[in-house]
Amino acid sequence: MAVGARSGHDEPEDRPDIPGNAEPAGTTADSTESDGASPSGGSTAQGKPRSFWKELPLLIGIALILALLIKTFLVQAFSIPSDSMQDTLQRGDRVLVDKLTPWFGSEPERGEVVVFHDPGGWLDDTPEVHPNVVQKFLSFIGLMPSAEEKDLIKRVIAVGGDTVECKENGPVVVNGKALDEKSFIFPGNTPCNDKPFGPIKVPKGRIWVMGDHRQDSRDSRYHPQLPGGGTVSNDEVVGRAIVVAWPINRWATLPIPKTFDQPGLNAAMAVAPGAIGIAGAVPLVFWRRRRAAPASARSNA
């Protein structure tokens, strides 16, 4: 017999197509389970997706929580109801205000447009508004401005430690440097608008603010009799307005005018010992807000 030849008594090959070689019933792999059928031949019920209407309340809840967190810590929308910031801002504009930066201890800077709470007495002549329940809820989560909060929006002209003044028909002067305000004050206005002031030393932790429409803005110039002499505490500042978001055809960023970057503007401010070394490190962590791009913002007419 040749090597490798099979004798007639050899075991039959394991071939399922040969009668008698089929495996006994119940020993074959149950291939039907991978097809979704049960071993008994019945079909296994597939997991049904959750109904959209059952998931909708959960999605709404998540959206509301996110809106509330964004409004509280990041960015909030404010509306402009008056003309005191023309032509930079028009009545009806919606601005987005950066509320995150103040959390890192950054103070307002000259030239920024900021939203702040009424320091007290600035908006006493503003009519009271009584929103309904829906309006209160929407303003609470940040989907519409609050009608009850008394907030204003102005431009920071001087900060704590600065000396600011404006002689009749003259420019606004900060620390001995005249500001060139032609790029942002309302056409035809004069810097003082027949309301000269100063020189005023701005207390530490406070700011001196003015509207861009000098003839239609009751700003720091008009409140020397109030605590702070017309200045606003940094603690009252909600945040910096960084962009006009609505209407779409008015979309624009709100950069700091170049006149506030002129050399020597900080020369008159005292520098504490060791402050130079600290100042060299801080910008690496807290980048200046002006390089970025966070209730109704009520500007007193």
Distance CA 186, CA 41 (A): 83
Question: Tokens representing 29?
Answer: 């792999």
3-state class (DSSP) for residue 168: coil
For residue 41, the 8-state DSSP code is S
Return the active site residues. Answer: 84, 154
Residue 93 amino acid letter:
D
Cα–Cα distance measured from residue 221 to residue 172, given in angstroms and rounded to the nearest whole number: 12
Sequence-ordered strand ranges (E) for 138-259: 150-159, 163-166, 172-174, 177-178, 197-201, 206-210, 232-233, 237-246, 252-253
Q: Which two tokens stand for residue 27?
A: 């020993």
Give the separation between CA 245 and CA 77, rounded to whole angstroms: 8
Pair of tokens at residue 300 = 């007193």
